[in-house]
Every structure is written in C-alpha cells, then in structure tokens.
Structure 1
C-alpha cells in the first residue's frame, strides 16, 4: 500500500516522519551500515484475504443468529467480535479496490475525497481494535463467572445485561475512534490507545491466571451431587481455552501495530525506528489475518457452531 492513500491515520504520521527526516536518515546511512528494506505486499493479497475474512465472519454472524442453541451471552459477544473483524475486512476491501482503481487510471479523485475516505476507513479500524479488545474482555469475564460463580451465572449474566454491555462497548468504540481520528496528531491520544491495549491485556491475563490456577481446585471439591456442575465447568474451561487462543492470535497480529504506535511516540526520528516504520504493510496484513483466523478458531473449538456453519454452506450450494 502506498503513502498516498493510507488505511490508518498512524500511517500518515509514519510517512510524515519518514519524509520530514529523509535528510537526517540519509546522512545517518552514510555513516552506518543500517540497511532498511521496505516489504512490498501486492494489493491482490490484501483484497483476497479481506474478502475471505469478510465471508467467514458473515457466516459466523448468520450461524449464531440461526441456531437458538447459540443464543447465549458468550456467543452474543463472539458475534460482536465477528462484526468487529468485519469492520477491518470491509475497510481493507474498500481501500484496496479504491487503490487498484486509482492505479489503473479508472478512477480519478481529488485529495479531499481521498482524505475523507481515509478518515472513514481509519475510524472503522480504530473502532474495530477498541471493540475487539472490549469484547475479548467481556468474553473473558463471562468465562470467569461461569467457572467461579456457576450456580449464580444466569442471574449475574442475564441477556439484558449482555445487551447493555454490547451497546456500551459499541458506543464507547465509536466515540473513541472519532476522537482518535480527530486528534490523531496529538501524542496523548496515541498514548491513551496504547494504555488501553496494555490495560486490557493485563486484566485478561490476571483473570486467566486466576481461572487456570483455581479451577482445578474447585473441580476437586465438587461432589457426586454436583456432577452436572462438573460437566458445566469442563465446558466453561473449554470456552476459556478457546478465548485464550483468540487472545494469543490477537496479540500476535495486533502487537506489531501497537509497537509501531509506541515507537511513533518514543522515537519518531530515530533511524532504527524509521526502518521499523517501513514494515507497516506487514503489520496491516497481520491485522487482516487476525480477522481471517478468528472464525476458523470459533468453528474448530465449537461443535455446535461448526455444525451450523456446515448447514449454512450446504444451503448456499
């Protein structure tokens, strides 16, 4: 992806830093052996992965809507996580198609149109990262409650509360992404996003540590009278493991992007940091891959969801 049409506002910052410091970077290269090769990823690859991930996440949403057995708070949150991934997929497909049409000379647009499109796409991606982290946190909390408060779960995590949490997350994501795009040149906004990312990771890690260290002790205390609870707890632990996998994939795919943001704040003019910025396309493809991988994990870990997805695919044929 070129620097004339950027999928994220932070790419504007990186490209500005690259251009502003081109002279200093060149002089630095004369005195050192620093080699900085830019990774070029074809537009067609972005488009292909984007379309596949969009199709996958649409199928996940339709499967959860169709199957009443999946109408539970955890699957509501998973459905919203799929919608968050769709935001990345849609923004990627629209942007890549836009760039391909421009490169082929089919579409001629003004700078203002490009800038407005860029802002819309950036808002979608920023909203996606905030909502994805929030829904991962909501699913973690849901699994935590099912393990440690199994007998009270249905009174604690009601459908009404789940809907309220979903609405609150989407409203907060929309507001935060709007503020982020409006004040993207202010480092304080970037720091807030990085802080939110780290806070959510630490919070989820703490809950997981508690779940996996004490769940085994809880299971031993369950008597034969609570055999059904033992089965429910095993199911809850399976859900927790699934979420742990999702969280690990999220960290791998989004981690380089947040490192990119951190370097923009801490060392925007350092030659080594400028070299790291050149790999931004690789970070973008990782983000899109996250949207592509998540539905595969849902289907692999949930037999009920996998069965419904098969039914949808067979009906489509």
Structure 2
C-alpha cells in the first residue's frame, strides 16, 4: 500500500501543498507497533474462544472466526513491517534492498487478502443472518457445517489468489478499479440484505412465534444488529483507504488530492483500529463469547503468575 502513497506524493510541489494549507499528520512507528500487537492478541483470543466453546461451534461463529483471522493478517503484517522499519532506522538490521522488496510484496498480499476476505466474510455473515431470519425452519438444512466449511475454503482461496494477482499487477489501474468495484458491490449487497431484514423481520417474527421460536428470532436479530455494527465500523475504518484509491484514478496530479495522499499513514492507522475494534464488538454483543474470553484471560493471568 505504501507504493500508492509514494507514487502520488511527488505529483505536487511542496509550495502548492503549503499554499493549500495542507497538513500532514506524522504518526510514530511505535504507535503502529503497539496497536498492531494489541489487535493481534485480541483476535487470537477470539479465535481461541470460538474453538474452545462448543456452544460457539456454528456457521455464524465460524465465519466470525474467519473475520478475526482476516484482522490478524492486518495485525501481523503491520507488526512485522514496523519491526523491520524500526530495526533498520536504528541501524540494527542490514537488509538487502531486494529482500525488503520481497518482504513488502508479502505484506501487501497479506493486507490485500485481509480486505478481500473481510468483505467476503461480511457478505457471508449477512447472508447467513438473512437465512436465519427468513428461512428459520430450514436453516440447519440450508447452512450445514459442510457447506460453511466449503464457503470458507472458497473465500480464502479466492482472496489469496486475487490478492497475489493484484500485487503482481499493482501498477495497472485495472487493479485499483477491481478493488474499488468489489468494495462497492459488497457494500450494496450488505445494505440490501440488512434493509430487507430490518423492514420485514417483524412480519416473520409473528410466524416464527407461532411455532414457539421467538427466542431464536430474537437471537437472529441480535446477530444481524451486531453485524450491522461490524459493517459500519468497517466502512468508517477502510473508507478513507478506498477513497485514496479512487482519487488515484480520478485526480492523481491535483494538489487537493495530494493533500489527501500525504496522510496515508493515518488511513493505515484506521485500518489497524478496525482490527482492534472488531473483537470488542464480538465480546460486547455476545454474552457466550464474552464469558469464554474472560475465562481465557483469567487462565492466562493465572499461568503467568
């Protein structure tokens, strides 16, 4: 991602940027490292909690687990890159430029895989909640464990493959167009499903209550609300990055756009914050997951003593 910033930052002179009152926010590398480590620990705990608690062994939580792994990709890539940069800046690491380029490509693939898989799993979770609400009586026959696993495998294979191709052909504007288009399509898909869910859920709740399934309906709607929050946080945190990509296509030489480009590191911080906030949302919205996370933290603390 840094290549997008470097290629466009030089398109305007410093005099133009100063005239526009362009402000560049400097973010210390230590902050990247601290947020990355916190996010990594949080998402590892979420994955461990889902594996540990049998009550969380359901397709929805499998998809949430994959979403946490997607967030872990961002955290790991950020931590590794920041450590290398800090060691290099302090003269503690002498790395060949070729190796740095290879490392940068691997990190870019991880970040790209994260965004593609995150968007895909948000869509998958939305579809799962939709089936739960509107086809409650047939849910277990529609969304079986085998189908959930197959969906997970397909999403990861598609994410890794497409991300590798994106990085290989990163100089082609078609790559940016594909990423932005995918982002917009997934947002529209989620918006349509959630709108339909919230507008018509009360009609289906009456039918489900007639079959004494009111508790299931309540749980399903709670899950839909949780995932609406997740989607909103994703848009807020990743939105500036995708706006950055759109501006690269539409106004790469404009001084106004270059003002926006200069704060690319701020957009990266927002992306890391998304990985940090998601586990807090899972824990806040799910009592079962929150309880398991508390047990894991207490056990870790006891063993640490």
TM-score past 0.5 threshold: yes
CA contact (8 A) 1:87 1:124 kept: yes
- Correspondences of 1:20-39 after superposition (within 5 Å): 21-22=11-12, 25-26=13-14, 28=16, 33-39=19-25
**Where in structure 1 are there 5+ consecutive unaligned residues?**
1-7
Deviation by residue 1:222-265 (Cα, 9 ceiling, x = unmatched): 45x412x1210110000000000000000000000000000011
CA contact (8 A) 2:45 2:296 kept: yes
User: Which of residues 253, 258, 263 in structure 1 aligns to 2:247?
Assistant: 263
Give me the whole-angstrom Cα distance separating, in 1, the residues matched to 2:17 and 2:129.
Answer: 52
Shift in Å, 1:221: 3.9
User: Which of residues 266, 271, 276 in structure 2 aligns to 1:292?
Assistant: 276
Shift in Å, 1:119: 0.3
Partner of 1:97: 83
Shift in Å, 1:213: 0.2
SS at match of 1:272: helix
Return closer, same or farther for 1:15/1:155 CA change in 2, 3 Å cut-off. Answer: same
Partner of 2:211: 226
Give me the whole-angstrom Cα distance separating, in 1, the residues matched to 2:126 and 2:63.
Answer: 10
TM-score of the superposed pair, with normalisation by structure 1: 0.93
CA contact (8 A) 2:17 2:259 kept: no
Shift in Å, 1:12: 1.1
User: Which of residues 264, 279, 287 in structure 2 aligns to 1:303?
Assistant: 287
The answer to whether residue 110 in structure 2 is matched with residue 149 in structure 1 is: no
Shift in Å, 1:207: 0.2
- Correspondences of 1:1-317 after superposition (within 5 Å): 8=1, 11-19=2-10, 21-22=11-12, 25-26=13-14, 28=16, 33-223=19-209, 225-227=210-212, 229-317=213-301
CA contact (8 A) 1:14 1:264 kept: no
CA contact (8 A) 2:237 2:267 kept: yes
Give me the whole-angstrom Cα distance separating, in 2, the residues matched to 1:86 and 1:64.
Answer: 15
Give me the whole-angstrom Cα distance separating, in 2, the residues matched to 1:244 and 1:278.
Answer: 31
CA contact (8 A) 1:17 1:268 kept: yes
Give me the whole-angstrom Cα distance separating, in 1, the residues matched to 2:17 and 2:37.
Answer: 40
The CA RMSD measured in Å over matched residues stands at 1.2
Shift in Å, 1:26: 4.6
Give me the whole-angstrom Cα distance separating, in 1, the residues matched to 2:155 and 2:162.
Answer: 10
TM-score of the superposed pair, with normalisation by structure 2: 0.96
Q: Which runs of 4+ in 1 moved over 6 A?
A: none
SS at match of 1:17: helix
**Where in structure 2 are there 5+ consecutive unaligned residues?**
none
